[in-house]
Amino acid sequence: MKSRATRRSIVLGSAALGGSVALPRAFAQSGAVSSYPAKPVKIIVGFAPGGLTDAYARLFAEAFTERFKQPCVVENRPGAGANIAIDAVVKAPADGYTLLATTTGAVWQNRVLYRKLPFDLAKDIDPITVFPSGPLIVAVADKLPIRNFNELVEYTRKNPSIMGSYAPASYPHMLAEALNKMGGKVETVHYKGEGPMWVDFATGQLTVAVGSDQAFATVKDKGARAIAATTATRSPRLPDVPTLMEQGYKGELASLDGGLALTARSGTPVEILEMLSKVAVDGNDTPRARTLRETFAIPTATKGRADALRLWREDAVVWIREAEALGVKLD
C-alpha cells in the first residue's frame, strides 16, 4: 500500500507540474520581463565538459549572446547525479539569469532514486526546452561472445559484469538494473560524463557501456562492438545495428527516448521561459546546430517549450515509474 501511494503521489505530482508550469506567475512584473536580459546569464551544467549536455548548453549560450548581445556563460558543476548543479539553480533567484542544463533523467528519475534531496524536483524546476539526444549505442568489449542483446542478457546471468554509466539515473543505469531484474549480475559504475566512461571502456575495465554515437565513435576501433541502439529508430550512423525493440526486448525502457533538459527555477516568469525557448528553436538551423546533430547522429531538433511541457506530463511519469519499479536508491 505504501508503494502504491508513493507511486500515485509521484504521478499526480508530475501531472500537476505539467499543468502548473504553464500558468503565469503572479509576480512576473512587466518591467522585469521587458528589460530582460539586463545582465549576463549563467547556464549551470550538471556534467563535465565534452559531453552532449555540455555541447547543447554552449550552443544555446552562443545563440543567446548573438541575439541579445548579453554574455551567456556556461559553468560545469558535475557530481552527485547532477544534484549539485540542480541545487545551485533552485537556490538562485527565479529571474531567468541562472539556468540548468542536465539530462531529463536527473530532473525526473532523481525524484525517486534519492531519498533525501534539498529540493523538490516536482515543484522547483520549470522546463524551457528539451534537446533530443537521439539513439544511444549499447556496446560491449569485442573479445566477449556477445553480438546481440539476448546474448548480453545470457552473459550477465552467468558472469559478473560491469556497466559504465555517465550519470546516476541515466539510460545505462536504468538498463543495468533492468538486466539485473532479468537475472543478471551487473554492477553499475557511474562517471562524471561520457568521456571518462569511454576511456575506461577502451582500456577493458567495463563489460558494457551505453552512450551517444559520437562518443562511441572514439572507441569503436579500440575493442568495442555495438550490439544495439536505444529508442524506436536505429542510429543513422550505424544503420546495421538493430534497436532493442527489434531484438525483442519488451520492456518500456526499449522505446523511451530521453533528452537534455534546459530548465529554470520555478517562479521564473513564463514570458522569459518562452523567450528562452524561442532562442533554442530559432537556433535549430544554424550551421553549428546542424553540425552538432550530425556529429552526434541526432535526427531531430528541439521543438520548444510546448513539447517540453508535454514530455513533463507524459514521458516523465513513465521514466519515474520505471525507476521506482527497479527499486534503486542512491543515498
Tens of pLDDT, residue by residue over 21-68, are: 444 444 444 567 889 999 999 999 998 887 889 999 999 999 999 999
Same domain flag for 233 and 290: no
d(C-alpha 179, C-alpha 77), whole Å: 30
Same domain flag for 117 and 264: yes
Domain containing 304 equals 2-133+257-326
pTM (2 decimals)? 0.80
Complete DSSP assignment for 155-178: HHHHS-EEEEESSTTSHHHHHHHH
The larger pLDDT score, comparing residue 290 to residue 212, is at: 290
Residues 6+ apart with CB under 8 A from 123: 13, 17, 266
d(C-alpha 96, C-alpha 123), whole Å: 16
Beta carbons of 328 and 113 less than 8 angstroms apart:
yes
What is the percent of the chain with per-residue pLDDT over 90, rounded to a whole number? 66
118 located within any domain? yes
d(C-alpha 90, C-alpha 77), whole Å: 14
Same domain flag for 126 and 150: no
Q: What is the CATH number of the domain that holds 148?
A: 3.40.190.10
Same domain flag for 235 and 318: no
331 located within any domain? no
Same domain flag for 64 and 93: yes
Beta carbons of 177 and 199 less than 8 angstroms apart:
no
Same domain flag for 160 and 123: no
Same domain flag for 22 and 114: yes
Q: Is the pLDDT of residue 258 over 70?
A: yes
Same domain flag for 182 and 317: no
Residues 6+ apart with CB under 8 A from 32: 95, 269
Same domain flag for 141 and 197: yes
Q: Which helix (H) or strand (E) holds 17?
A: helix 2-20
Same domain flag for 70 and 171: no
Q: Looking at the 3D structure of the chain, how many domains does it have?
A: 2
Place of cell 518591467: 31
Same domain flag for 51 and 197: no
